[in-house]
Structure formats: C-alpha cells, structure tokens
Amino acid sequence: MLTLNAPYATFITGTLIPLLTGLLTHYNLSSKIKLIITGALNLVAAILTSAIVTDTSYIISGHTLVNAVMGFITSEAWYYGVFRKNGLTSSLPEGKLFPDKGLGSE
C-alpha cells in the first residue's frame, strides 16, 4: 500500500503547480511574475503538506522549506521539460490552456 508522505506529496503538487500557474496567469504576463507565483504556490503546498502529513505541532520548519524548494525544482522541471515543450501551458501564445484568461493584460 502506498502511504502519502512529504516527498510523494511534494512530487505530486510540484507536478500540478505549473498547470495551476497556467490557469491563474495570462500568457503574456512576465515570466518573473509567473516564477514568483509558482514559488508562492509551492510554499503554500509545502505548508499544507507539513500540516497534513507530519505529526508535529509546528508547520513552518526546515523540512517545510526544503519541501518548498524541492517542489519548486520539480515544478520548473515539469514546466520546461514537459509542459512548455509540448505547448500545454498558457505561457506561450499558442498554448492550449486558456491562452486568453488569467492574471495579466492582453
């Protein structure tokens, strides 16, 4: 049986966060802002993972920050290695994931 622990949860959320960033942002929004949004989403995911998976009384710890960094690296690897390469994100004008919706101007 597969049990959910912090590394598995970090990998799963790191895989889904580029898609969520694509849903939240417009295709022509600055890549720096998209990077900040991706980092913030990974930090929130790491905090939620620590709150749900671990049995400690505190949420923000060194492990939480390590999971946020690992999630960010996973997100960027998925984004540049899979999603962007195949045109699945809204970061490209020809992207297929709601190219005219989200944060940013036309």
pLDDT of residue 93: 53
Look up the domain containing 48 and give its range: 6-83
The residue that leads in pLDDT, 1 or 9, is: 9
Structural domain includes residue 100: no
Within 10 angstroms of residue 83's Cβ, the number of other Cβ atoms is: 22
Residue 92 lies in a domain: no
In this predicted model, what pLDDT tens digit does every residue of 22-81 receive, in sequence order? 778 777 778 898 899 999 999 999 988 888 876 666 667 788 888 899 999 999 998 888
pLDDT of residue 84: 75
Q: Which residue has the higher pLDDT, 1 or 24?
A: 24
Residue 89 lies in a domain: no
For tokens 């622990």, the residue is 5
54 within domain boundaries:
yes
Cα–Cα distance, 79 to 106 (Å, whole number): 22
Per-residue burial over 87-101, b if 16 or more Cβ lie within 10 Å, else e, is ebbbbbeebebebee
Give the separation between CA 63 and CA 78, rounded to whole angstroms.
Answer: 22
Is position 88 within any domain? no
21 belongs to a structural domain: yes
Q: Is residue 76 part of a domain?
A: yes
Domains identified in the chain, total number: 1
In a domain, 27, yes or no: yes
Lowest-confidence pick of 1-5, 25-29, 87-91: 87-91
Q: pLDDT at position 41, please? A: 93
